[in-house]
A and B are shown apart, each in its own frame.
Chain A
């Protein structure tokens, strides 16, 4: 399977704490993307990091990419109840036309 693996599958934290989610993949990539999905809704693109980048920030989001370990992490700082959602990584593999989505992490932020 080309699907990425995300870890943990589920994460529950208190509001104000930081949340870290990890994504591992198997092949070489052009880019890696993170998406959020609220329950029963479509996915929303959060951030894209290219294979030649190591870290990227967007507001309270910080993404790192380690191509030698074939892994990425998404850090959400100062979490809010509204951050409760599922988070998916998706990879654009070299030579492939489309994205391959990971299995997702279900984040619950407790007010």
Chain B
């Protein structure tokens, strides 16, 4: 089945220790997104790729970076995680910007 896969599902990291979250898709979609979602809140868009074109949201902290080495994979790098970065991180894909999005199951990040 075509899908969006996120690994790991749960990640624990130490304060200040870099961490990378991964996302892969078998849908061959052009657009890949990273969202941050804190408890009982709406998903907050961090950035997205349209093909290789990277688009950063204005309020995304510099601490967050992303890489998309090919169509199928996208990575979220948090350079120096703080306690406030503990959240669920959701990857999503869509065929085009503004069309329906397909979400992965998310990675729950804990910062100790």
**Which A residues form the contact surface with B (CB < 8 A)?**
3, 30-31, 33, 35, 40-45, 48, 88, 90, 92, 96-99, 101-104, 106
Q: Is A45 a contact partner of B42 (Cβ separation < 8 A)?
A: no
Contact of A33 among B43, B97, B100 (CB under 8 A): B100
Using an 8 Å CB-CB cutoff, how does the interface string of B87-112 with A read, 1 for contact, 0 for none? 01010100001111111111010000
12 examples of A-B residue contacts, CB within 8 angstroms: A33-B100, A40-B108, A42-B92, A42-B103, A42-B104, A43-B43, A45-B101, A88-B43, A90-B101, A98-B98, A101-B43, A104-B41
Q: Is A42 a contact partner of B55 (Cβ separation < 8 A)?
A: no
Grouping DSSP codes into helix (H, G, I), strand (E, B) and loop, the A interface class, with mixed when no group exceeds half, is strand
**Which B residues form the contact surface with A (CB < 8 A)?**
4, 6, 33, 40-43, 45, 48, 50, 55, 88, 90, 92, 97-106, 108
* Residues of chain B within 8 A of A106, CB atoms compared: 40
Q: Return A7 CB to nearest CB of chain B, in Å.
A: 14
